[in-house]
Structures are given as C-alpha cells and as structure tokens.
A and B are shown apart, each in its own frame.
Chain A
Amino acid sequence: MRLTDDEQAMLDGRDGPAVQRAMDLLLRYGRALGAERLVETNNVVASISATTPFMRDYARQRGGMDGVFSEFSLDSDDVVPIPRVRAFTTHVQLGFDPGNAALMGVDEQTVRFYQQGEAYITGLGVQATNTCTPYQVGNIPTRGEHCAWMESSAVIYCNSVIGARTNTEGRESVGAAMLTGRIPYWGYHLDENRRGTHHIQLAVPVESTADWGLLGYWIGEQVQDRVPVVEGIGKLPNLARLKHFGASASSSGGVEMYHLVGVTPEAPSVAQAFGGNYPVAQLRYGERERRDAWEKLNHTGRDTQVDYVMLGCPHYTIEQIWEAARLLEGRKVHADCELWIFTPRAIKSLADRNGYTRIIEDAGGHLLTDSCSAMSRAAPKGTRVVALDSAKQAHYLPAILGVQAWFGDLAECIDAACTGRWNGGLS
C-alpha cells in the first residue's frame, strides 16, 4: 500500500501510540483487501459501547474502556491511552435502551457500567446518537463524500440514497478511522464498483412501506451482494420506504448499493445506473415474486395469538411515530400483548414534545430508544409470537429469540397489538 507522508508519520508514531496502532490496523486491513491506498474520511458511524457482561468483565480486568477500545476497536496487543477522535463520528444502536432497562430485563449494574461508558464515548468526541439510522439525526453526508460506516441498513442508505461512499465497515476499522481520518480506498469508494449489475423490472405497483420491504427482501435473495437497478417505479418512495427497502435487501442478500431509476442520485437513467456494465441478469418483480417474499417472511408464523408487537426497525422516523400514534389514539393495547416502538433518542424527544409519546403510553405501549429486540435479544417475558412491520426484524428475530414472527404493515401490527390476534395477510 502507498502511504502519504502524513499517513507514514502516523504509522511512525508522530500522533501517539493509539494513532500508531490505528494506522497499523488500516495497513493490515488494506493489504488483506488488496487495496492500493487509503482515502481521507471525516464521517464515521461506529460501535464503541460495552453493554454485554463479557465486555464489562473485560473492561474491569484489562484497563477499563481504554482497554476495551485498544482490543476491540484497534486490535492492539497492548492497552494504549485513547485520544479524542479526529473524524466526526456518530454511534450506532446499543445492546439495550438505558432509559428502559428494567422493561428490557437489564440489571442496574449493567446500566451503571453503560453510563460510565457513555461518558467515556462522548468524552472522546463521539456523538451519542445511538441509532442504526444516523442519517435521521445529524449525520447526512454530502454526495460523493467518503465515509466509514457500520450497520448494513445504514451503509446501503448512505451509498444508494445519499450517494455518499462507504463499505460495510466493522468495529475495528471504524475505530481506526475515527482516530486517523482514513479508511481503505476499496469497493464502493471506487466508481466502477458502484455501477449496476442486475436489472429488475417492476410489474406490480410498489407503494406502501410494506411493499418496499417485500421488494427489498426479494431483490436481496436474487442478487446477493451485487448492485440491482430497479426500473418502473410509480409513486415516489419517502425516507421510511427507502429505509425499509435497504434494510430488507441487506438482510436477505447483503446488498450495499442499489439504483432506483429516476429516484436515486446515480441513476438518472438506466444507462447511467449501469455505467457501461452489461446486466448479468434481467429479472421481473410481479405478483408471484411479491407473494414469494411475503411467504418467506411469514414462514415461522403459525399461531394467531400475538404476544408482542415490535415497531421501529430500522429506527422509526417522526413521520412513522406520528402514523402509529394516529392509529393508536383512543385504543388500548390488549392485556395479553405488548407494544414496543424504537426510535433514535433525538426523535423521541421530539415525539415527547409533540404528544405522541403520551398517546402511545396512554394506549399501553412504550416508545424506546437506542436499541431493538434483535440487538438486545430482549422481548416481553414469555413472548412466543411476534408481529413486525420490518422485513429485517422478521428475518432475524425467529433465529435470535426462537419466536414465531408475522410480517405485515403498520395498521396490521397496531391491530394485532390492540386485539392480541394476527389478522394480517397479503393484500
């Protein structure tokens, strides 16, 4: 790998041992990829927190949070003092909601340890946004900006909708990026890897948020980690629909970049989306494909008695909370069912002021932040059957919690929460 003089100085220890370890890791990582150089970044989405008992014990025995950062964010053999970060960095979701720990079954000791950790993280200069949707709360890169993001649903949004450039980074590479302002110049940082590979023609209308989740889930299975180009979009999708679409496609297949012709910034036309690539496949999304996605997402659903409804994967927008509150107003969550809705903490404070939190709580539901059931492995006690409006959550939760899952739209989920029954189906 070729290093600039500035990068070489970091590797030689000019900026201290933590930056030296960071540059050493970037070099090992870049060589593993076959990258030729690094690229500057001032936009990082990272996980640094320690919310599991393992991490808590590790910190106690191995140098506190500097020890955790040295090992799990820098892959360093020794504990080094961690300086303030160089690049703008926002934190991803956590293993629980510190504001609702008891509800999620998390003990006070873990909460206290997390709070110390949060003070450490913000002390480094990292923003405690604690969300899988950084683009909702102050981290919206510029088109073309080189980023180093974790969280697959955020990565696909960053590349496809915003037109910024990131690979799916991991805890160690973003740790190195925030201290050096560098990341390997590889993959989706380069033009040639951003061009379309598969052509998808829509033959049915794709309009609702659920529709977009189904389409994403089907496309991910078809193209795996390649770059789909979708043509035939009617009604323009909003943020929530694209958020759901990307999260679905990155769960079922690992898609990190897509083009919607006439919608996303690098796809004003089919030809521009492919950028000279010849499509490796021409696929059609019709009624049968839509049903196939719906059936796969509902393959664990058997019992219609629903114990738990989880909304907010990826974290809900204020518009989605508004919609949920309107559907809930004047109704009550069924005595045998629980409703948890997840959103970034910054959006919850808006929901508090708007009165939505009160509407949700008056109905017997909860508005939580910072996490979700897949990340926390937490659900109401005794949950056997879950209803979800997220294809990603329906993909992961049956494996993570051993529950049955129903996938449907928001109205079906609110109805399930209030009746304790699943009455959804493919419209």
Chain B
Amino acid sequence: MSERMTETIKKEPSEIKGTVGQNGGVLLIRTLEKFLPFVAVIVLFIIFSLTARNFFTIRSILSLALQTSAITIMGIGVTFAIITGGIDLSIGSVIALTGTVAVMVARAGVPIWTSMIVGVGVGSVCGLLNGLMITKLKLPPFIATLGMMMIARGVALTITNAAAYPAPEGFGGLGNGTILGTGQKFPGIPIPVLIMIAVAIIFAFILTKTRIGRYTFAVGSNEEAARLSGIKIKQVKHVAYIISGSLAGLVGIILASRMVTSQPNSASGYELNAIAAAVIGGTSLMGGVGTVGGTVVGSFIIGILTVGLTMAGANYYMQQIVIGLVVVGAVAIDQLRARK
C-alpha cells in the first residue's frame, strides 16, 4: 500500500505541469481515482465497523490480516505473471503440492526449516516449468498453467494417496507463531502477516525499482518492441513465473504449517481469488499494467468483505455474490476510466 501511495505522490508534480494550467479539477478527480481502491478499503472498513459488532477490534483486525495473507502473497506473485501479459492458474494447486511435499519431507526426518525450503523450491520449479512451457513450447500461458494446475494437484494427491498426514513437532511454528504478543491485551502479530508485509515491500521494490521489474512491464506492454530493444524476453518470463510459483510455494508451507498437516486438497480455487485481487487492484489482464500495492489493496477488499460479511451475518453464498460483483465493478470502473 505504501508503495502505491508514494508512487502516486511522486508522479503528481510532473503531471501538474501538464494539466494545472488547463484544469485543476481534473487533476483532483484523477488523484482520487488513483486512490479509489484504497478509499474503498477504508469505506468498507468503516461500514463493517459500524454494522458488525467486534469488527473493529485489534483481535479481529489481526485475524483479518492473517486470513488475507495467503491470497495477498499469491496475488503479488501472480501480478508478475499477469503484467508480462500472461496468467498463472496453477498457484492454488502448487500451494497444495508444496505444502504436502514440505510435510512429507519433514516426516521423513529432514529438519523442519530444510523441508520448508524444499517446499518453496518445489514451487519455484513449478514456476520454472510453467515458464519453459510458455517460452520453449510456445504454449499460451492459460494452457500451460492450466496443465500445471492439474498436474501439481495430481502429484500432491498421488504422493499422499489423497490422505492428510500430520506434520512433525515444530512444523506449526511458522504458521501459528506470533511476535510482540503481550498475552491477553495484545495477541501479537502473526508471523504470516509479517511475511506478507515483507513480501509486499520486497516485490514492490523489485517491480518498480529494478531492471527486472522494468523488463516485466516492457514485455507485457509490447513484447516485440522489448525484444527488439535487446531485452531477453524468455528470461523475463521465466523470472515472472518463478516468482509466481515461489510465492505460491511460500503460501503452501505457511498454510501447511498453520494446519500442521499435509492437505493435498487444500487451496482449491485460491488462484482465482488471487487473480481477482490483482485485477481489483488495477492490474490489467492485457499485460503491461499493475502494481504490488494495488494487489495488496485488492486482497484486502476481498478479505474485508469475506470477514465483514460473515460477521454481519451474511452466509457464504451471499459473500460469493458480493465478491463477484466487486470484481466486475472494479474492472468496469477501470474501463470507464480508460475510455475518458
């Protein structure tokens, strides 16, 4: 979020030069529009604080952040794939596979941390394979990652025989631990939330301040122009899908750790929520446009709606309808903005 705001602020002075003479009001509206998703989060937050009891408590806010961390981290990863003009449908299944592998490896006697690194590594490999299918076999990203979605899920189910295995002692630390807790008063910040914050900051930096981030946009904005500018398209795509796969792997071990079991059926359909979060946050499925901050905000809009609607007494089906409307509405607003 912070990255998105500083971006906006930094851009303004230069744009003022171009527009202030003509119309100051237009500029104000534009600025508001840029903040729209962020404003939406605040508005939602206020609404639920007023309508749902116990929504505005430290405990429920922390729980909201914890619940939203998985989709946020996934969403950041898939944002990279989407900005290159692709998509990654495999991340939900990769989560199940990486969590399962990490638990099985740990059960085999490998130290907990090593097994978790192995888990993330499996995610990276899945990402690399996606990238190779797209660049070497020239598959459309939709097809390549759809295949990977089925394969990863199938592998997870095969190696566990579709059963949930308990993880060894100590495996739950990552997902269930907190820091800075003071007992009753403040339950502490869950480690997954800290990881989410770190991932958001690191990947916002990579996307906006580094060469590979710049190349990611260039490839998504105009692949042929990027190629003729000497950018190694294939490498850029590989990196984007490896980021997507690795962050899914990270979510995989966090979720496995939280449940302290291998769940080969877990995270089914999560990929669509992550993609929805990116899209609500302004990432264009056409490629070339998107921010990490936007995806974080998008995830929180989905998260707040889910938690808030539950606490306000709306059932699961109702939540689905509302979130569906938000996805459609967010993109519709973007389209209207583009038309102006």
A-B complex is real: no
Interface residues of B (CB under 8 A from A): none
